[in-house]
Structure 1
Amino acid sequence: MMNDHLALLRELRDASPLDAAPSREALTDHLAARVDEVGAAAFAEFAHLQRVAAEALGTEKTAHFARVLREARVSVKAPDRCPWETAAQMIASLPAQWQEPLADQIAVSRKGQAVLGKTIWSVDYTKSVLSALDRWVTYCAAKGLPLLPKASAFHRYACHLVQATSDRQPTTTGTAGNYLQRILAGLAVAAGGHFHSEACGFVAADWRERARAQGAVTKTGSQLVGASALYRFGFRMMAEAHSRPVRGIRAATTFRNGLILAVGAALPERARALTWLEFDRTLTLIDRTHLLVNLPGEALKYPEARKTQESYAVIFENPGLAEALHAYRADFRPLFDDGLHLFPSVHGKRGAVTAKQIGRLTGDLTEKEFGVRIPIHRFRDNVATEASEHLTGGAYAAKTLLRHVDEAITLRHYDHAEGHRSAGEFEDFIERRRTNSAELIL
């Protein structure tokens, strides 16, 4: 006697493009029953079922098979722990006399309301300060040093950081300077106002100045392939996803990754800001050619006190990117879940991919394509370089595109070569250099 799975398989093989595909509800019930019968082997069977259905009925008609398979196969993971709770737990490893003032600092920063004598810290900065303090405490214990440093000991610690040991890699000069600054910031709070050393402050400033003189040692000229090349690469990936014979989660992930590349080049923001992009909230598809990006201050690299007061809003006229976003929202985004995040996680976690994952992902993709890793933050360098070379305002336009307060920052970190006008001009520039405009016309 033929089982239900083989009967459905035969039915789909005999179907024609004019026939209707099985509904999502019917497929869900079918897969659940098959899992009960044969266990995990049902997932491979169902994937084959989709391939047969796509060949008979068409790719678009059978895309919902992928969503059914994903929901059955991938369990929803617990949400990430609140980063403020993580910061609070980090205090436990520090000296007991420091814990209460640091906990007070976290409480003030978490509320986002400044009080007398307290500076608001972001959660990321808070965690970096606590991590730096923890490393300093470990070093002092190993060397028999007091926790409140003298300038000479502080300098020796920086020298220790930039030297390799048997159990760790050396830091860069800039990272060592950042550690010193964070330790001083942490001690100013932890010691309850009983620690202040201009000499140690001078040491920290000296190490950060050394780093500025050396330049960005983690950046290389080979990473400057150009924003246009990154943008085109993103569209090639989206075209590849659209041309696949089966519209499954792999195709959806390929399209999402291509969109990350294209958006990263067209909207040169940091990875954290990209994780905030959500349809109808921070990203609005106005029409077939215009996009509105409206990011809150919390998503941007602003001082913590400014985040509640400022935001970033800009309208882009970019037909190619708008076309891609419409195709993604209609055909590929629903294969992940019913959420609105532009870049959803593939691994069963509700919500967006993390900033760290975006950096790793863009590095992996560009290394395979260009032979050199270009993480998302390095996209900004490519945008600044190309904008400096080709836009009317040169470095001034690059400064505005990247929202640098000081033009010297742009000139220091990017190859030398106003306002929303610069953003629009850059959009026109890279869009004219996209060669595969027809593949995404649905």
Structure 2
Amino acid sequence: MSLILPLDEWPAQDQEMWLNLQAGGGPLDDCGALSHLRATSLKTLELRYARWLQWLTTSDANAITLPPARRATLPRLSAWLRDLSHTRPMTRLMFIDGVLRILSAADPTQDWSAQRRLKAGLKRTAGRGDRDRKLGRVLSSEVLFRAGLILATGHAEAAPTSLRRMMCLRDGTMIAMLALMPMRRRAFAGLRIGISLHVTADTLTVALPGDLTKSGQPWEAVVPQSVEPLLRRYVNEVRPYFLERGQQQHDVLWVGKTGLPFKENALGPRIADQTLKLTGRRIPPHFFRDAAATTLARSSPEHAKLIRPILAHTSFGTAEHHYIHAQTIEAGRDYADLINQKKKVCR
């Protein structure tokens, strides 16, 4: 049984509420309370609320007859959390947060203080999420770039078939490019020639519109020279090979072996599988962003300040975190140098 209640199966009052929250305003109408959110954010909220509705349907069916805001009592939310106890603290927080964001926006006059205290407690428990999942899996950008280069050159040349060679060239190019241009998976998978990847005789430029960045702000950068030859070969040789093989014609940059666009949910596992073979560690696309931040931080505190523009963040929060990390590393280096100097004096 699905854990999510499909939108077309929601109670009529919930469907109406959800449509009203997203409605754009007209000359005589106000905008919906959530109409300012991007489509991806709305979809995330929809799925979290759909999980809540599915739980109510199976565990507390009588509550479905109540108005949406009246269902979210503290005892009922607590019961849902008990059934979610097998999930991570951050996951539980995200579910509760999604439901409360929707319901409090739909009925802002209701007293939500008890529910917000529940959310605050979940937030304290969740902290900054499960950091252990990244332990040992954040490599340097240099290591990841080298892995992509090896796949696109040595492994490709040794491939037994043309198809296998082209796949090595494509996967190696993706890994090398992500190592130097750590985009989010959705943005990377959504690159389109002539729209978000501009190809000229002199340069290759990535220009992401606001709807492909988390901040909502456009992001533009020239493809680094060290990865440009790989990307040009992919665009001029590998991609046309796949398109012809599958008799496809479109502008999506990354394609599968049948020429169809590489879907976001397939691209991530593909990169993770290849990095596991190349480095011994499974590195999904998002970890390339951690690799960039870590590489900059370990280089110097000044380089840590580059994190914000490279990762297209709107605030300095992440950059400051890694800046402090870099200062710690520098202090450790200075301390080690001091110890070595003292050892020389004692001799």
TM normalised by structure 2 equals 0.77
Q: Following the alignment from structure 1 to structure 2, what is the Cα–Cα distance between the partners of residues 269 and 411?
A: 20
Mapped pair 1:202 → 2:89: no
Alignment of 1:206-355 (within 5 A): 206-212=121-127, 215-217=129-131, 219-240=133-154, 242-244=156-158, 248-287=162-201, 290-302=203-215, 307=216, 310-316=217-223, 318-337=224-243, 338-347=249-258, 349=260, 352-355=261-264
Unaligned runs of 5+ in 1: 1-88, 164-169, 418-442
Mapped pair 1:158 → 2:81: yes
Query: What's the secondary structure of 2:164's corresponding residue?
Result: helix
Q: Following the alignment from structure 1 to structure 2, what is the Cα–Cα distance between the partners of residues 192 and 367?
A: 48
Q: Following the alignment from structure 2 to structure 1, what is the Cα–Cα distance between the partners of residues 316 and 124?
A: 18
Alignment of 1:102-181 (within 5 A): 102-106=18-22, 108=24, 115=31, 117-144=33-60, 146=63, 148-161=71-84, 163=85, 170-181=86-97
Query: What's the secondary structure of 2:227's corresponding residue?
Result: helix
Looking at CA atoms only, which structure, 1 or 2, has the larger radius of gyration? Answer: 1
Q: Following the alignment from structure 1 to structure 2, what is the Cα–Cα distance between the partners of residues 205 and 381?
A: 27
Offset of residue 197 of structure 1: 1.0
Matched to 2:126, the amino acid is A
1:439 match: none
Among residues 264, 271, 296, which one is paired with 1:362 in the alignment? Answer: 271
Higher RCO (CA-CA < 8 Å; seq separation 6+): 1
Offset of residue 202 of structure 1: 2.5
Offset of residue 353 of structure 1: 1.4
Query: What's the secondary structure of 1:416's corresponding residue?
Result: helix
Offset of residue 262 of structure 1: 0.8
Q: Following the alignment from structure 1 to structure 2, what is the Cα–Cα distance between the partners of residues 182 and 231?
A: 37
Q: Deviations over 1:207-227 (max 9, x none)?
A: 1232225x4346322102211
Query: What's the secondary structure of 1:301's corresponding residue?
Result: coil
Q: Deviations over 1:262-286 (max 9, x none)?
A: 1111111100111222233322244
The structure 1 segments of at least 4 consecutive aligned residues displaced by more than 6 Å after TM superposition are none
Q: Following the alignment from structure 2 to structure 1, what is the Cα–Cα distance between the partners of residues 268 and 324?
A: 21
Identity %: 22
1:402 match: 311
1:61 match: none
Answer whether contact 1:132 1:182 (CA < 8 A) is retained: yes
Matched to 2:81, the amino acid is A
Q: 1:414 to 1:394 in 2, by over 3 A?
A: closer
Answer whether contact 1:391 1:397 (CA < 8 A) is retained: no
Answer whether contact 1:388 1:397 (CA < 8 A) is retained: no
Q: Deviations over 1:330-386 (max 9, x none)?
A: 22111111443221133453xx31222222112111222222211000111111000
1:393 match: 302
Offset of residue 409 of structure 1: 2.9
2:11 match: 95
Q: Give the paired residue count.
A: 307
Q: 1:357 to 1:193 in 2, by over 3 A?
A: same
Matched to 1:298, the amino acid is D
Offset of residue 254 of structure 1: 1.5
